[in-house]
Amino acid sequence: MPVISSAYKPCPFRNCSPLFRAPPLNSQYGKVFFAHKNQVVKELESRVQQLTGEAENSNLQRQKLIQEKLELERCYQITCSELQEVKARRNTLHKEKDHLVNDYEQNIKLLQTKYDADINLLKKEHALSTSKASGMMKELEQNICQLKQQLQESELQRKQQLRDQENKFQMEKSHLKRTYEKKIHDLQSELDKEKEDAQKKIHKFEEALKEKEEQLTRVTEVQRLQAQQADAALEEFKRQVELNSEKVYAEMKEQMEKVEADLTRSKSLREKQSKEFLWQLEDVKQRYEQQIVELKLEHEQEKTHLSQQHSAEKDSLVRDHEREIENLEKQLRAANMEHENQIQEFKKRDSQVIADMEAQVHKLREELIHVNSQRKQQLVELGLLREEEKQRAARDHETTVYKLKAESEKMKMELKKTHAAETEVTLEKANSRLKQIEKEYTQKLAKSSQIIAELQTTISSLKEENSRQQLAAERRLQDVIQKFEDEKKQLIRDNDRAIKALQDELEARANQVRCAEKKLQHRELESQEQITYIRQEYETKFKGLMPASLRQELEDTISSLKSQVNFLQKRASVLQEELTTYQSRR
């Protein structure tokens, strides 16, 4: 900016009116006139100097304001250019985003077609493997049916032999049951009567009751142990009878007539063995079917997992692009808001400064008319400077646009490279996963063939073990029958002894209860007689001599003793009721 020169000083006498010119007067008047003239000139010169100083100050302030205005306009142009650049960049990024999304969708479609083709191939291979497995299953089922027929034939033969023997053994079984039940019923009736007699008398003896209950629990435990031993012996006999053969049946007909119940049990156990064998075969069949179902489920799960991974990767990429675009939009909005706020602040400042300056200009307009010409020159110079600055700003704008274009192209290339790398990685993962699935299916088919061979070997081994067990059972049957008879006799003897011991103990306990009851009654009578005797003696002796307080204390003690006796009687009745309820529950 060229500095406006303020050295221009107009001559004070150039435009002077003719009143101040020296008229031809006398000397005195001339002196006064010249003195007055000099004074006026001095005043005018001082006034001119003041006006020139004020004009210089106003010019300086004007220059400062013009410079600030130029700077503000420059900032405004820069912000406008930046805004336009950001908008252009935003549009280019939107276009690039749409292009990338289209490319990504096309790649996804191609991958989906490849994936569907691979899955169809795997389905065909799986169908072939399932057809082979179904053929093997049919062969196994035929073998199982043959084994079932053989087992049914053997069971029918044994049933016919057992039916003939069952009719003979049922009579003896029913007779033994009746006799045993009669004995038990008689003993039970006797025990019930004795319990009823004891329940009426034992309500006052808590300690004796506890001892008796402990003894009864011991006896019941002994009986329970004996019953458990008998049940265990019977179960062992059942297990051993299952392994008996047909040869021993012919030799031991006389002994089997006595043990008819045992043979019926052996029959049930043999049926259980046949059922267990059938159950084992069914379990093997179910296991193989479950393995096939599990293979199908694993294939479907892997398929769904791969599709989910693919969709998740797609969604994640789209979300990342959307987030980047949203961040850029937010940054643009924030920058626009900041620029708008700055512009508004500058406008406010400019408006305030302009208002102040207009007031000053209005005051000084009359005094600064001669400065307008200089101001016009300055405005011309300012216009030239503005044009130069506009050209510079346009050049800067072009350079920034080129830079932004280069950066956007770089970003575009980088995004394309990353997208291509991601697609290659996903393709490699899918191919590796398909190879793993093929390997797993081949391994599972090999395992299924091994399982089929193992099942065939187990069937043959089971047949051999069945024949061996039958022979061993025929050998052990005779020993088991003898042991069972001895144990049965021993158990009957032990049961009779225990019943006799219980009867003796019950009689002894009943006698003890009676004796204790008699003693209690005798003591109660003695205590009542003593109380009445003492009362009479004290009434006779201290009647009239005893003060009212002692008499009241004695009466209180007597009433408390009566209440204690009543409480003990009630407690004894409650204990008796509890004892009866406890025994009825048992």
pLDDT digits (tens, 9 = 90+) for 391-439: 776 677 677 767 777 776 777 677 677 767 776 777 677 677 667 766 7
Question: Contact 59/6 with Cβ under 8 angstroms?
Answer: yes
- What was the pLDDT predicted at 5? 40
Tokens 């004290």 belong to 538
- What was the pLDDT predicted at 11? 44
- What was the pLDDT predicted at 21? 44
Q: CA neighbours within 13 Å on the CB side: how many for 44?
A: 14
- Per-residue pLDDT, averaged over 364-382, amounts to 66
The dihedrals phi and psi of 475, each to the nearest 5 degrees, come to -75, -35
Nearest-angstrom CA–CA distance, 306 and 314: 12
pLDDT digits (tens, 9 = 90+) for 217-228: 676 676 667 657
265 or 127: which leads in pLDDT:
127
Contacts of 502 (CB under 8 A, 6+ apart): 191, 219
- What was the pLDDT predicted at 267? 59
Nearest-angstrom CA–CA distance, 295 and 317: 33
Rg (CA), the chain: 64
| 202: number of Cβ within 10 Å | 23
Q: What value does the mean pLDDT of the chain take?
A: 70
- What was the pLDDT predicted at 210? 64
- Per-residue pLDDT, averaged over 510-534, amounts to 71
Asked whether the predicted pLDDT for residue 102 surpasses 80, the reply is yes
Nearest-angstrom CA–CA distance, 89 and 127: 56
- What was the pLDDT predicted at 160? 78
If pLDDT is split at 50, 70 and 90, which confidence band does 301 have? confident
Contacts of 22 (CB under 8 A, 6+ apart): 30, 33, 34, 37
Which helix (H) or strand (E) is 12 found in, with range? none
**What contacts 24+ positions apart, CB below 8 Å, involve 92-97?**
92/408, 93/325, 93/328, 93/408, 94/325, 96/408, 96/411, 96/412, 96/415, 97/321, 97/325
CA distances (Å), origin 5, targets 60, 81, 357, 371, 378: 11, 36, 21, 11, 11
Asked whether the predicted pLDDT for residue 358 surpasses 80, the reply is no
- What was the pLDDT predicted at 24? 47
CA distances (Å), origin 38, targets 44, 109, 335: 10, 105, 67
Q: CA neighbours within 13 Å on the CB side: how many for 3?
A: 6
pLDDT digits (tens, 9 = 90+) for 526-572: 767 776 776 676 666 655 555 666 667 777 777 777 777 777 777 77
Nearest-angstrom CA–CA distance, 430 and 108: 13
Contacts of 531 (CB under 8 A, 6+ apart): 558, 561
Q: What is the percentage of the chain residues whose pLDDT exceeds 70?
A: 53
Asked whether the predicted pLDDT for residue 365 surpasses 70, the reply is no
**DSSP state for residue 243 in the 8-state scheme:** T
Q: Is the dihedral of CA 21, 25, 29, 35 positive or negative?
A: positive
Asked whether the predicted pLDDT for residue 18 surpasses 60, the reply is no
